[in-house]
């Protein structure tokens, strides 16, 4: 599963893109509400639990120069955001969808909440805010079990399904794990609910590659269990790099080798899934020139 242990402090990272990204996220949530936000009634207590902890404890403790707690005379609590000069109530909204929207416009990370599935067999997606989906429409994954969410992922069934189901069932509270992935995106858009993957039976499209808008797109993914509701929270922050940035860092050769490696290894189908046939030549030529 290529996961490693992390700590609670790793849950959210801040960088210089914060303000631009949260404004972009708010625009995406307005324009594409049905694709990026959803909540079943059953997820309310998990969303509320995380909301209270994120605003009331995590953010003001972890990033005290960005977020401070405020209380009015009648004891109502707020999180004051020093970057945006805004206040958010420490109490979650009546509807979980609204709490998700508030959190989606507060931090750059996307959040997916999983609860034991209705038939008791594995975990299912019950609520989310995902402004930056890399090639999937999260709404189409709502209520699906982990294994059905990953149906298009090569070798998932053969190589990952069993260990993932076991791992998700056993993950204790207090443990934080992380995983990173990488992809090449031929667009600089962050809201990409389609087009970044190829699925079985699909034809390889003929696309003119523009290197200036091509990005190395990575997700810094985290998984942990909420202590009270015991829901699982999968979250990820999307990071993008231009190809000149990769070259300037001296990583051009490493990336070119990783691209070649997609065809080899134990799941060569990833070459197709990641659309490598579309961008491989142009990207490799640029990286090695
Ligand atoms: C930590 C355990 C997990 C592992 C090891 C894992 C593994 C993977 C892999 C290998 C892929 C293919 C793309 C890539 O290289 O990343 C993928 C895609 C994906 N994963 Fe996961 N995943 C995990 C957890 C989750 C969870 C908890 C969710 C949602 C609740 C999720 C949702 C997705 C989605 C939506 C895709 C795209 C599928 C598509 O193309 O339609 N993953 N995952």
Phi-psi region of 168 (alpha: psi -120 to 50; beta: other; left: phi over 0): alpha
Longest pairwise C-alpha distance within the chain: 65
* Cα of 266 from ligand 1 centre, angstroms: 17
Phi-psi region of 45 (alpha: psi -120 to 50; beta: other; left: phi over 0): alpha
Q: Does residue 276 have its Cβ closer than 6 Å to ligand 1? A: no
Q: Does residue 149 have its Cβ closer than 6 Å to ligand 1? A: yes
Residue 123 has, within 13 A of its CA and on its CB side, a CA count of 25
Q: Does residue 234 have its Cβ closer than 6 Å to ligand 1? A: yes
Atom of ligand 1 nearest to the CA of 138: 35
CA pair distance 103, 107, nearest whole angstrom = 6
Name the residue at shortest CA distance from atom 27 of ligand 1: 234
Q: Which of 214, 216, 219 is nearest to 181 (CA)?
A: 219
The answer to whether the Cα torsion of 137, 142, 146, 147 is positive or negative is negative
Question: Tokens representing 24?
Answer: 């972009």
Give residue limits of the domains in the chain: 4-288
Pairing of strands 4-6, 110-116: unpaired
Instruction: Give, for all 289 residues of the chain, the pLDDT tens digit.
Output: 789 999 999 999 999 999 999 999 999 999 999 999 999 999 999 999 999 999 999 999 999 999 999 998 888 899 999 999 999 999 999 999 999 999 999 999 999 999 999 999 999 999 999 999 999 999 999 999 999 999 999 999 999 999 999 999 999 999 999 999 999 999 999 999 998 999 988 998 888 999 999 999 999 999 999 999 999 999 999 999 999 999 999 999 999 999 999 888 777 899 999 999 999 999 999 999 8
Q: Does residue 32 have its Cβ closer than 6 Å to ligand 1? A: no
CB atoms within 10 A of CB 149: 22
Name the residue at shortest CA distance from atom 43 of ligand 1: 150
* Cα of 225 from ligand 1 centre, angstroms: 17
Spell out the alpha helix ranges (H) of 14-129.
18-31, 33-36, 44-53, 59-62, 96-104
CB atoms within 10 A of CB 113: 28
Strand order in the sheet with 77-81: 67-71, 77-81, 86-89
pLDDT of residue 289: 87
Q: Does residue 153 have its Cβ closer than 6 Å to ligand 1? A: yes
Q: Which of 191, 184, 246 is nearest to 210 (CA)?
A: 184
Pocket probe for ligand 1: among 39, 149, 150, 152, the residue whose CB has the most ligand atoms within 8 Å is: 150
């Amino acid at each position: 599963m290529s996961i490693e242990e992390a700590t609670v402090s790793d849950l959210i990272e801040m960088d210089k893109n914060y303000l631009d990204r949260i404004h972009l996220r708010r625009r995406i949530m307005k324009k594409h509400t049905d694709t990026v936000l959803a909540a079943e009634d059953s997820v309310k207590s998990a969303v509320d639990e995380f909301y209270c902890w994120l605003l009331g404890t995590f953010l003001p403790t972890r990033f005290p120069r960005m977020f401070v707690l405020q209380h009015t005379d009648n004891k109502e609590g707020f999180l004051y955001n020093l970057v945006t000069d805004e206040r958010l109530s420490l109490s979650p909204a009546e509807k979980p969808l609204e709490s998700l929207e508030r959190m989606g416009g507060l931090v750059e990370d996307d959040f997916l909440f999983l609860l034991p599935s209705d038939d008791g067999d594995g975990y299912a997606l019950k609520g989310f805010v995902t402004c930056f989906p890399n090639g999937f429409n999260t709404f189409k994954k709502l209520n699906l079990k982990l294994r059905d969410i990953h149906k298009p992922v090569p070798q998932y069934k053969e190589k990952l399904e069993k260990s993932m189901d076991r791992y998700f069932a056993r993950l204790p509270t207090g443990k934080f794990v992380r995983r990173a992935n990488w992809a090449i995106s031929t667009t600089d858009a962050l809201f990409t609910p389609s087009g970044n993957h190829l699925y079985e039976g699909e034809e390889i499209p003929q696309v003119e590659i523009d290197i200036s808008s091509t990005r190395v797109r990575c997700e810094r993914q985290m998984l942990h269990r909420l202590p009270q509701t015991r829901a699982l929270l999968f979250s990820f922050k999307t990071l993008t790099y231009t190809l000149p940035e990769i070259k300037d860092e001296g990583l051009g050769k490493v990336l070119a080798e990783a691209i070649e490696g997609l065809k080899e290894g134990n799941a060569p189908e990833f070459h197709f899934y990641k659309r490598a046939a579309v961008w491989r030549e142009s990207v490799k030529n640029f990286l090695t020139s």
